[in-house]
Amino acid sequence: MEWLDSFNNDLISHFKTHYPQSNQLNAAMLYALESPGKRLRPRFVEEASAYIKLDPKMARLLAYSIELVHLFSLVHDDLPCLDNDDFRRGLPTVHKKFDEPTALLAGDALLSFAFETFSQIALLTDPKNFSQALRYYTRAIGSEGMIGGQTKELELSQDLDLEALLKIQDLKTGALFRASILTPFLLAGISENDSKFKDAQNYANAFGFAFQIADDLVDEKQDQANAKKNILIFMGREKAVQLATDRLMNNSISSIFSATQYLLQTLNQ
């Protein structure tokens, strides 16, 4: 079975084992979980883990946890008080399929389940490694990470320069990619000072940047009239694509991650 199918099946079983009751909240969580995402972040977790030979059981729990965090962010981001989107992954958003209070609470419960899942890793690793990994992971999600990036974007949306935009995107989308790639290293006891960690960090930063350029290119194609201020506008399209491609390619570990090829294709089509 392909990785994506096996991961999706396992993620759904993991959810149903922990939340077997059929009620509206669980149905909304499951609806978000079953929607067809690319699962880039869990794939990063598992490829980084294989590279450093982390126990695959730990890798899978972390992979579930990170996709659950990502899903929480999507469900909340789609709400009328934030992006107000009607569709996500080609399907009605959770608040459209159910209702706003259910979507808000389903997002909360997905985040809570993400940490419940992460807690299961504690039994499989050294407590010091677990605590360092948990600290890094939670900071990547919170006010100095993804949620902080989203907040800064709301605060500064009228008054953005390139530096502010790069910082926002580095937090809003980059932090969770970094966590996907680097949390396995911390669980394995490979510290931030280790050269292996630094190489992986450079790759994660390059990926986050390139992902944003690719996302801006897709937005540009889809809705030219309403294009937001983005890196393509500040840097120029060609320069931004070249820089993103160079940063992705000139990296010692880019070939271990399948998302590298996916992104290079998106950047250069």
Residues that bind ligand GRG (CB under 6 A): 37-38, 40, 70, 73-74, 76-77, 82, 89, 146-147, 150, 172-173, 215
Q: How far is the CB of 208 from ligand GRG (least distance, A)?
A: 10
Q: How many helices (H) and strands (E) does the chain have?
A: 14, 2
Q: How far is the CB of 196 from ligand GRG (least distance, A)?
A: 25
CA 131-260-180 angle, to 5 degrees, is: 15
Nearest CB to ligand GRG, comparing residues 129 and 173: 173
Q: How far is the CB of 146 from ligand GRG (least distance, A)?
A: 5
Q: Alpha-carbon distance 238 to 39, whole Å?
A: 28
The conformation of residue 226, written as its DSSP 8-state character, comes to T
Nearest CB to ligand GRG, comparing residues 88 and 247: 88
Contacts of 17 (CB under 8 A, 6+ apart): none
Phi-psi region of 223 (alpha: psi -120 to 50; beta: other; left: phi over 0): beta
Nearest CB to ligand GRG, comparing residues 133 and 146: 146
Q: How far is the CB of 72 from ligand GRG (least distance, A)?
A: 7
Write the DSSP string, 100-147.
Answer: HHHHHHHHHHHHHHHHHHHHGGGGGS-HHHHHHHHHHHHHHHSTTTHH
Question: 175-187 and 56-77 helices cross at what angle (nearest 10)?
Answer: 160
Rg (CA), the chain: 18
Q: Alpha-carbon distance 44 to 56, whole Å?
A: 13
Nearest CB to ligand GRG, comparing residues 155 and 194: 155
Q: How far is the CB of 175 from ligand GRG (least distance, A)?
A: 9
Q: How far is the CB of 177 from ligand GRG (least distance, A)?
A: 9
Contacts of 153 (CB under 8 A, 6+ apart): 168, 172
Nearest CB to ligand GRG, comparing residues 93 and 251: 93
Nearest CB to ligand GRG, comparing residues 160 and 190: 160
Nearest CB to ligand GRG, comparing residues 76 and 247: 76
Q: How far is the CB of 128 from ligand GRG (least distance, A)?
A: 29
